[in-house]
Amino acid sequence: MRLIDFSVVILLSLSPLTAAVAQTKTVAERLGYPADSKLLIVHADDLAVAHSEDAASFDALDKNGVTSASVMIPCPWLNEVAAYAKDHPDADLGLHLTLTSEWKTYRWGPVASKDTVPSLLDSSGYLWPENAPAEQHIKAEEAEREIRAQIERALAMGIHPTHLDSHMGVLFSRPDLFAVYVKVAHEYKLPFLAERTPDAPPSLLALLSDQDIILDSVVVANPRVAPSDWRNFYFTAIRNLKPGLTEIIVHLGHDDAELQAVMVDHPDYGAAWRQRDYDVVTSPEFKKALQENHVILIKWKDLKKLLN
Amino acid sequence: MRLIDFSVVILLSLSPLTAAVAQTKTVAERLGYPADSKLLIVHADDLAVAHSEDAASFDALDKNGVTSASVMIPCPWLNEVAAYAKDHPDADLGLHLTLTSEWKTYRWGPVASKDTVPSLLDSSGYLWPENAPAEQHIKAEEAEREIRAQIERALAMGIHPTHLDSHMGVLFSRPDLFAVYVKVAHEYKLPFLAERTPDAPPSLLALLSDQDIILDSVVVANPRVAPSDWRNFYFTAIRNLKPGLTEIIVHLGHDDAELQAVMVDHPDYGAAWRQRDYDVVTSPEFKKALQENHVILIKWKDLKKLLN
């Protein structure tokens, strides 16, 4: 049984980050909104992992159920996403930088030539199936080689990313991996997912520039949320949004034969979970909750424009 | 629009092969049957390409609708097939040696490190999408490296192949590629798909050994068969079977969202095609036709036992 608890990964591993760099204006002000606005990105992870994931995510993007999404470049369905990107040049697509291949029946390898990234591979030649061996074995210079290869593959396929984030938080799991992530994001002039916390060590803060935009809060469902409480989890999160910049991360899919087979034996972040997320973000009640709580939806591309 | 006409590939590209090597006994006799028996392998190609393909093929194997199948080792669903192989140690599974990645939305790369097989890759780093560039660019020594990597990956994952064949017939498309195929099959002591034809050049015959078993006939549906005539195509083939060794090659899948997306814009060998094949081979009428025509079903593992 593999445990993939994104919430733990993101919250614990981002704990080194803090209030970052003094900005004279809030992100809201820089975007032309009142200083105390509640800005929200609703973000679908894992595009390209499966057709079911793509179909649900494209539909949610088209219906403005999510504002943004990120793509797993090593995954088999990348060409389907590249075709969508070509047909939807305004779609806010980033890269879900991927250093793991976590499902039981269905696996993928790196984009870089295997010879050049041996520390990223399990004994079968796929990316590591779990966070623990990934964190233990991955060499930072090989992670850098692979994420650069992923960005270059995306660009070559006509996907012009608006942002970067990290699948299963692997790039948040060690300071040297986080350093690679920030360095490459800076080089490509891309905003990147990182969450503000009160106790970041100076060594990590030193990696950040004045330009970097750090999220005030990240919301993601977790295995402790009962299926019957799914909508309520998100609606409570929306009611509790504070002024500042928040991202709600969802995983969208249809609970069909393909996704059930990809995620077999793994109800957490499984096919039914992704169907529930899809049902919430495409519901009229979700849009209504955002409106009633005066939430301003933004995209990563809005943040990208703030970078010089 | 990509044309993947397996029938043309196989029939034309196997034309160099001939009556091969004199054997004092027919294959039927060597297997303990009367000399003029009609031996038939009913074979499902393309396992591991998609969950839908796997589910339909496993079901047909379990119901004895097909006797044998072959697996595409570079494809994403390999672990699903490896799990089936582990649970079904008697299943007759060979390797569908794969040097192309032919679908539009969904692609795969080589098993070998990309640096070591550059002639196998298109500009995106996937295997070639069509036969023509594959035949034009592939270097035989890199094809050999890749097919050895596929065999070793299969063995490492607990798939012990009973035979070899060639996806889209790429290994039948040039004498030097055919030579690699035969050489590797000999080395691993595996029978391999090749069809007897009357006009094989001596250079190819010289590659074969006394041990090699050449099929007398290969039957595969083609785009000229109307969907309404699908059953009739196979039943006619069964009625017309001659004494000797024949393989009927089918492509099994369910006409569902996943397979429709894999095979989008490609009705030939598409999702509905594969559903039709599945419906035929799992029908009672198919079994009845085999019985009424005194067909003896065999497996590749029966042929493997004849090799010293």
Residue A203 pLDDT grade (very low, low, confident, very high; cuts 50, 70, 90): confident
Single-letter residue type at B94 = G
pLDDT band at A201; cut points 50, 70, 90 = confident
Those residues with Cβ within 8 angstroms of residue B205's Cβ, 6 or more apart along the chain or in another chain: B17, B18, B20, B21
Residue A2 tokens read as 């593999």
The interface predicted TM-score (ipTM) is 0.89
* CA–CA gap between residue B191 and residue B30 (Å, rounded): 15
d(CA A299, CA A69): 9
Does B105 contact A79 at a Cβ distance shorter than 8 Å? yes
| pLDDT above 50: residue A13 | no
| Distance (Å) from the alpha carbon of A61 to chain B's nearest alpha carbon | 19
Please answer whether residues B102 and B72 qualify as being in contact, where contact means their C-beta atoms are separated by less than 8 angstroms. no
| Candidate from A80, A157, A262 with C-beta closest to B261 | A80
The answer to whether residue B87 neighbours chain A at the CB level (below 8 Å) is no
Which residue of chain B has the CA closest to A256?
A: B257
Q: Which two tokens stand for residue B184?
A: 């590797």
DSSP-derived 3-state class of residue A296: strand
pLDDT at residue A274 greater than cutoff 90 = yes
Contact: B107, A52; criterion CB under 8 Å: no
Residues ≥6 apart with Cβ < 8 Å to B176 = B140
Cβ contact, residue pair B124, A83, below 8 Å: no
Q: Distance from A141 to chain B by nearest Cα, in Å?
A: 18
For position A11, what pLDDT does the model report? Answer: 36
Between B220 and A202, the higher pLDDT residue: B220
* pLDDT of B23: 54
Arithmetic mean of pLDDT over chain A: 92
Which pLDDT value is given to residue A196?
83
User: Which amino acid type is present at position A168?
Assistant: M
Residues in chain B with CB shorter than 8 Å from the CB of A83 are: 104-105
Task: Return the higher-pLDDT residue of A157 and A2.
Answer: A157
pLDDT of residue B203: 82
- Sequence-distant (≥ 6) Cβ neighbours of residue B79 within 8 angstroms: A104, A105, A106, A107, B157
DSSP-based three-state secondary structure for A302: helix
Give whole-number Cα distances, A121 to A114, A143, B86, B145, in Å: 8, 11, 23, 20
Q: Give the separation between CA A272 and CA A253, rounded to whole angstroms.
A: 8
3-class state of residue A28 by DSSP: helix
Residue A302, judged by CB atoms within 10 A of its CB (0-12, 13-18, 19+), counts as buried
- pLDDT value, residue A200: 76
Cβ burial, residue A284 (10 Å; 0-12/13-18/19+): exposed
| Token reading at B246 | 């024949």
Instruction: Judge: B77–A106 Cβ closer than 8 Å, yes or no.
Output: yes
- pLDDT, residue A21, reads 46
Instruction: Using a CB–CB cutoff of 8 Å, tell me whether A240 touches chain B.
Output: no
Q: Distance between CA A194 and CA A213 in Å, rounded? A: 8
Contacts of B247 (CB under 8 A, 6+ apart): B40, B41, B42, B43, B193, B215, B217, B218, B219
Please list the ranges in chain B whose pLDDT falls under 70: 1-23
The C-alpha angle with vertex A148 and arms to A145 and A149, in degrees rounded to 5, equals 85
- Asked which of A31-40, A49-58, B208-217 is least confident by mean pLDDT, the reply is B208-217
Q: What is the band of A12 on the pLDDT scale with cuts at 50, 70, 90?
A: very low
* pLDDT digits 0-9 by tens, A63-86: 999 999 999 999 999 999 999 999
| C-alpha to C-alpha distance for A49 and A80, rounded to whole angstroms | 10
Shortest CA distance from B152: residue in chain A? A124
Q: What is the pLDDT of residue B10?
A: 41
B59 contacts: CB under 8 Å, gap ≥ 6? B65, B278, B282
- Lowest average pLDDT, out of A169-183, A193-207, B262-276, goes to A193-207
CA dist B168 and B268 (Å) reads 13
pLDDT digit string, tens, across residues B106-148: 999 999 999 999 999 999 999 999 999 999 999 999 999 999 9
What kind and span of H or E run contains A275?
A: helix A271-281
* Cross-chain residue pair A113–B108, CB shorter than 8 Å: no
Sign of CA dihedral B249, B253, B258, B259: positive
pLDDT at B8: 32
Give the whole-angstrom CA distance, residue A220 versus residue A9.
Answer: 11
pLDDT tens profile A124-157: 999 999 999 999 999 999 999 999 999 999 999 9
Where are any strands of DSSP class E within A37-79?
A: 38-47, 68-71
B106–A contact, CB cutoff 8 A:
yes
Residue A229, pLDDT > 80, answer yes
Rounded to a whole number of angstroms, the distance from the CA of B42 to the nearest CA of chain A is 26
Q: Which of A272, A244, A248, A278 is nearest to A259 (CA)?
A: A272
pTM listed for this prediction? 0.91
CB of A275 less than 8 A from some CB of B: no
